[in-house]
Amino acid sequence: MNLGRDNHTELREAVAALCKQFDSAYWQKIDEARAYPEAFVDALTKAGWMSALIPEEYGGSGLSLTEATVIMEEVTRSGGNAGCCHGQMYNMNTLLRHGSPEQKKRYLPKIASGELRLQSMGVTEPGAGTDTTKIKTVAKRSGDRYVVNGQKVWTSRLQHSELMILLARTSPFDAAKKSAGMSIFLVDTKSKGLEMKPIRNMVNHETNQLFIDNLEIPAENLIGEEGKGFKYILDGLNAERILIAAECIGDGYWFIEKTTGYSKDRVVFDRPIGQNQGIQFPIAEAYMEIEAANLMRYKAAGLFDAHKPCGAEANMAKHLCAKASWEAANVCIQTHGGFGFAAEYDVERKFRENRLYLVAPISTNLILSYIAEHVLGLPRSF
C-alpha cells in the first residue's frame, strides 16, 4: 500500500530506500539492547537528510520544513524510531533563524558534514514542568562568559550530541513579564560543569537528568539577544511540533498498513478476521482520522515555510496527528490479538514509541488550553 504518498515522490523514495536497510530486526535489536541507533543516524547524516534544513551555502540541502517533515514521516513509516534524530532538525532551525552570521559560519558546515551533532535541547526542569517561565537555571554574565547553574530533566540525545541549546534565566522572574529575561545558548556538551544521569524510560529514548554546576559558556555562544530566548524557543517549538506531527502520520500509516495486512492473513473461524466488519470499521475510522490530521500537518508546515504565524496550526497539527496515530496504534494492537504483544511483530514497540507524543514535546492539555485561550479568546486559566 502507498497511502498518503502522493507528494514529494522522489524525496520519499530516496529516504525510504535508506530506511529499508534498517529493517525490523535492526530496530528490535536496538530496542532490546536499549542502544542508540548509531548506524542509522550515521547513514541518515551521510545521505544529507539530517542537514535537510541547512542552507546550501553552509553545506546543507536547503530543503523546506515541509520536506523535512516528509523525511521524518518516512523514518517512522519504515518502522523506525525518529526520536533518535529529530532533535537535530528543529534545533537547527533555532540556530538558523536566530543565530549570528559568525555562529552559522562556525557551526553549520560542521553540523552539515556530521562532524558535530546538535541533537539536544535543555528546556524542561524538574521544578518548573510545563510552566517554562518558572525555570530556575540561571546564567550570570561574568566578563567574556556566562556562568550557569541549575538543573534540567528529560534532556534527550545528550550523550550522542556535541552541541546543545540551553535555556536559562538571565534576569529574575518578573510576574508582569513572565516570559522575558530568558536566554538561549549554544553549549558544548563535553564542557566542565555538566553532569548527566540517564533516565530509564518506557521507550528506547536516550534522555537524561542534567546537573549544571558553574558551567562556563563563552559570551559569543549566546543566540540572538539576551532576554529574548523564550520567544526564540517558541519559534523552534513550532518546527518541532510540525515535525512530530509528521512522525505521527508516519506511525499512523505504519499501523494502518500493518493491521490491514494482518487482518487479511489471519484466519479465525475459517475466514480472515478482516472479513468481519467489527475488525474493518475501526481500521477504516482510524485511517480517515489520519488522512484528516495530515491536512493540518501540511497546512502548518506551509505556514511555517512562508514565515507566517503558525502557532495555532502547529499545535493543532501535533495534537490531531498524535491522537489519530494513537487511535491507529490501539486498533493495530487490538487486531493483532495476543501477537500484538510479541516483540517480533514490532507492534508493541511502535505502540510504546507512539504513546510518547501525547505527552512530549507538549502534552495534550497544554495544547487545548492554548487553542481555548489564544484562538477562541476564552479567559486565561493560568
To ligand FAD, the closest distance from the beta carbon of 251 in angstroms equals: 15
Contacts of 101 (CB under 8 A, 6+ apart): none
Q: Which is nearer to ligand FAD, 154 or 304 (CB)?
A: 154
Using alpha carbons, select from 126, 124, 106 the residue that is nearest to residue 115: 106
362 binds ligand FAD (CB under 6 A): yes
Could you tell me which stretch among 168-176, 239-247, 265-273, 352-360 binds ligand FAD (CB under 6 A)? 352-360
Q: What is the DSSP letter of 225?
A: S
Burial class of residue 193 in the structure, from the number of CB atoms within 10 Å of its CB (0-12 exposed, 13-18 middle, 19+ buried):
middle
| Neighbour-count burial for 353-369, b at 16+ CB within 10 Å, e otherwise | bbbbbbebbbeeeebeb
To ligand FAD, the closest distance from the beta carbon of 96 in angstroms equals: 19
To ligand FAD, the closest distance from the beta carbon of 177 in angstroms equals: 20
Q: What is the DSSP letter of 127?
A: T
Contact 336, 262 (CB under 8 A): yes
363 binds ligand FAD (CB under 6 A): yes
What is the CB neighbour count within 10 angstroms for residue 68?
A: 27
Binding mask 158-197 for ligand FAD (x = CB under 6 A): ----------------------------------------
Among 92, 121, 148, 233, binds ligand FAD (CB under 6 A): 121
Could you tell me which stretch among 105-113, 116-124, 255-263, 271-279 binds ligand FAD (CB under 6 A)? 116-124
To ligand FAD, the closest distance from the beta carbon of 369 in angstroms equals: 6
207 binds ligand FAD (CB under 6 A): yes
To ligand FAD, the closest distance from the beta carbon of 188 in angstroms equals: 17
Size of the site for ligand FAD (CB under 6 A): 22
Residue type, 191: S
Q: What is the DSSP letter of 228?
A: B
Contacts of 99 (CB under 8 A, 6+ apart): 107, 186, 223, 224
What is the CB neighbour count within 10 angstroms for residue 49?
A: 25
Chain residues 136-155 in contact with ligand FAD, contact rule CB under 6 A: 154-155
To ligand FAD, the closest distance from the beta carbon of 257 in angstroms equals: 26
Burial class of residue 202 in the structure, from the number of CB atoms within 10 Å of its CB (0-12 exposed, 13-18 middle, 19+ buried):
exposed
Among 205, 228, 349, 350, binds ligand FAD (CB under 6 A): 205
Q: Which is nearer to ligand FAD, 158 or 256 (CB)?
A: 158
Binding residues for ligand FAD, rule: CB under 6 A, are 121-124, 129-130, 154-156, 201, 205, 207, 356, 359-363, 365-366, 369, 382
